Structure 1
Amino acid sequence: MAYLSQLETYKFRKAFTLARCEAFPSVVLEGRFKSIPREQRLCPCGSDEIESIDHMMLRCSRHKKIRAKYITPLLKDMAGQSDSDYYNQLIIDQSRTTTELVAKFRAACHSRQNRLLNS
């Protein structure tokens, strides 16, 4: 796993690791601990989609601005693929640039969630 040595900042290594493992703070993770069926772990954005990492990275309206900064530029190079293919290419850790931008995206989302919870 190249990202463990390539991502120099601890918070980015942690963010990418949590994204790959779907272990970031979310309704999906909370549902695991509370035995809530996966299909009921919906995102608070109101989309009626499960709050999974691919939803957050590709479709969630709550992360639109952060996605525009970090993820959208990467998707332009992958035009015409399915969301599943986009997600797999973003999370696979084959490109240092992609890995770094995904890590920054996740770290920014996490910071935003913390700010919202603490306000």
Structure 2
Amino acid sequence: GILKSSTLRHLSLEFCRIGDQGLEILCKGLKQSQHINSVNLSGCSLSARGAESLAAVIKHQGMQRHNEAWRDSLRYRRPDLDRMSGLRRITANANPMLGDEGARAFAEVLKDDLWLK
């Protein structure tokens, strides 16, 4: 799966219509992925439920990056932010069912994330 791939950096499922159930399965792998930097979920028929699954991944990876930055700052005095693993970009255009509730889920988790666009 995607966890075993060390070369996969960008994952595009644009207009694959995986829906919330497919995204939940994908999120299980993304949560632990060290190598995937960007994911395109445009037109994947996602709703607010899918946004919450993705928000959980963002939060989990954010905590991992904070821990890694703290550890590096102790060891090297200054963390190398460009070397941090995890998602850097998520694209979720053309998913009208995300609605306000999905936007709120993203906004809540992204307000403290310094790495993700």
Tell me, yes or no, whether TM beats 0.5: no
User: Into which bin does the TM-score normalised by the smaller protein fall?
Assistant: under 0.3
- TM-score if structure 2 supplies the norm length? 0.27
- TM-score if structure 1 supplies the norm length? 0.27
Q: Higher strand proportion, which one?
A: 2
Q: Higher helix proportion, which one?
A: 1
